[in-house]
Chains A and B, each alone.
Chain A
Amino acid sequence: MDREQMSICCGLSRRRRAYDLSMRSLLYASAAVICALLVFLIGYILFRGIPHLSWQFLSSEESVIKGIEGILPALINTLYVVIATLIIVLPLGVGSAIYLTEYASNRKLVSAIEFATETLAGMPSIIFALVGVIVFCEFAGLGTSLLAGAFSLVMMTLPTIIRTTQESLKTVPQSYREGSLALGGGKWHMVRTVVLPSSVDGIVTGCILAVGRIVGESAVLMFTAGMGMRLAKYGHSFGQFFENLFDSSGATLTVALYNYAKERADFESAFAVAVVLLAIAFVINIAAKLAGSKLKKH
């Protein structure tokens, strides 16, 4: 058989060199396009929004008479919705994850729960909005209120909490569990003293991600929590917190942005709100990374 005795110095054929070069340029080009887009996007939002951002804008309620613009109500509404949603979703999600990893023995039930979780995770928010309106606002009689909004968001954030908690529960070594059970403490005792403390990082990560989704959500809240831009009666005591959840309705930051941009064509305010949202997204990303990297270490 004749094999060509090529020199090892003869380089790539012209065709292969062209392929290599064009693919490499495509890769770098797409990376450059995406990075440029992102820098531009963020730069543009900051450029348009920061001039309008002031302490007064953040800390006051708008008043047509006084000619004051302010997003304090939106900030407070957002905070209320975030807290109320987390209070409801956290026990449900963590409990569900504990059931799946520690208790469940029925495979069919487990796969049903996992299928449901995946389905919820893939559901578009407009569906949660529709169902929230019928179930929580109308059927449950909550009306358009922050609480109805929070309940609707519970459906949306539940998969996030379940998933991250489950992930961290899986990292708890089996020997910890055996160690606890061997002492005769029972399963609940084991969960309480061994499993839960070891999975705090995962739960925290889940919370952070859920907060991110809640703050960024608009469609659900627009229909279930309302679009009002005025400050409702906010109290300082614990009891009033719950009262207000039932009574108040109002726009969160994202809905306020939509209002400013689409209903009022007040783009300066809209961009100022966008800057606030961007800052929150940035903080949440960093927090999630920190909590996540702590989670990975174990």
Chain B
Amino acid sequence: MCDNSEKTIIQSKKLNLYYGENHALKDIDIEIPVNRITALIGPSGCGKSTFLKTLNRMNDLVPGVKIDGQVLYRGEDIYGREVDVTSLRRQIGMVFQKANPFPMSIYDNIAYGPRTHGIRSRARLDEIVERSLRDAAIWEEVKDRLNKSALGLSGGQQQRICIARALAVEPQVLLMDESTSALDPISTSKIEELAMELKNRYTVIMVTHNMQQALRISDYTAFFLLGELVEFGDTQTMFSKPGDKRTEAYITGRFG
């Protein structure tokens, strides 16, 4: 579906997902290119967040969920039997809709992931914490209060702490689930800038309700409707010449 010159990092094949009786994702086929920002758009309940959560298997936690088809991460089926969910999630990080820093110090928040994965050396941790906070463009704001609780920060800062926390385990892919929807415009634009920076080194997949945001920062856009992937392609093309009537209706604001 997308430009053949791009290298694919995640690919889904005939992906179907059911919550009990509810058929939430229908035959999703998509190839997500590496080191690009891919936006997932669509009206509420269209399955875009559900799809995002299948990529790092966070849907496993929902009782009664059933998944068919394949999701390949660098050619390996992530729902395969030998796959270890913890190492999958280490490589595919996630930032949630609501900023959810742990009720711990800023330092411990960032160091949580590396510590979990076995890094004990203080010097090593210091280095990772600084690098992650710098990458998330929040180092200057918090470097003097690393031992203060992360809950004392503003919403936008908290969300960047969460991004830094996700980066600290050195993922390949960063999933962002409407990560700016709860933020003010200034914080939002900071995070958008950050996402643009990050795409040089990470693949970013973001769910957004904000058409403008998708248009501003994403390279590729996927439009979901009622559990189906209606259209996927280059963002500029899709917003200027949508290939499907439903996409056009959504983009021009006729529903959702």
Measured CB to CB, the residues of A under 8 A from B are 1, 3-13, 15-16
Q: Which of B81-104 contact A (CB under 8 A)?
A: 82-84, 86-88, 90-91
Chain A, Cβ-Cβ closest to B78: A8
- Whether A8 pairs with B91 at a CB distance below 8 angstroms is yes
Does B170 make an interface contact (CB < 8 A)?
Answer: yes
Given contacts A6-B87, A8-B88, contact A15 B118 (CB under 8 A): yes
Shortest CB distance A248–B (Å): 57
With A11-B87, A15-B118 already in contact, 12 other A-B pairs whose C-beta atoms are closer than 8 Å: A1-B201, A4-B170, A6-B90, A7-B87, A8-B73, A8-B76, A8-B83, A8-B87, A9-B76, A10-B84, A11-B84, A13-B118
Shortest CB distance A12–B (Å): 6
Does B50 make an interface contact (CB < 8 A)?
Answer: no
- Whether B86 pairs with A12 at a CB distance below 8 angstroms is yes
- Whether B118 pairs with A8 at a CB distance below 8 angstroms is no
Does B187 make an interface contact (CB < 8 A)?
Answer: no
Give the interface size class of chain B.
10 to 19
- Give the secondary structure class of B's interface: loop
* Inter-chain contacts of A3 with B (CB < 8 A): 170, 172
Chain B, Cβ-Cβ closest to A6: B87
* Inter-chain contacts of A4 with B (CB < 8 A): 170
A195 to B76, CA, bound (A): 63
- Whether A9 pairs with B118 at a CB distance below 8 angstroms is no
A3 to B203, CA, bound (A): 13
Question: B91 contacts which of A6, A13, A16 (Cβ < 8 Å)?
Answer: A6
- Whether B170 pairs with A9 at a CB distance below 8 angstroms is no
A-B pairs, 6 with minimum CB distance = A11-B84, A8-B88, A9-B82, A3-B170, A8-B87, A8-B83
- Whether A10 pairs with B87 at a CB distance below 8 angstroms is yes
* Inter-chain contacts of B201 with A (CB < 8 A): 1
Chain A, Cβ-Cβ closest to B90: A6
26 A-B pairs with C-beta separation under 8 A: A3-B170, A5-B172, A6-B87, A6-B91, A7-B87, A8-B73, A8-B76, A8-B78, A8-B83, A8-B87, A8-B88, A8-B91, A9-B76, A9-B82, A9-B83, A9-B84, A10-B84, A10-B87, A11-B84, A11-B87, A12-B84, A12-B86, A13-B117, A13-B118, A16-B116, A16-B118
What is the 8 Å Cβ interface bit string for chain B, positions 134-175, against chain A (1 contact, 0 not)?
Answer: 000000000000000000000000000000000000101000
* Inter-chain contacts of B80 with A (CB < 8 A): 9
* Inter-chain contacts of B88 with A (CB < 8 A): 8
A15 to B86, CA, bound (A): 14
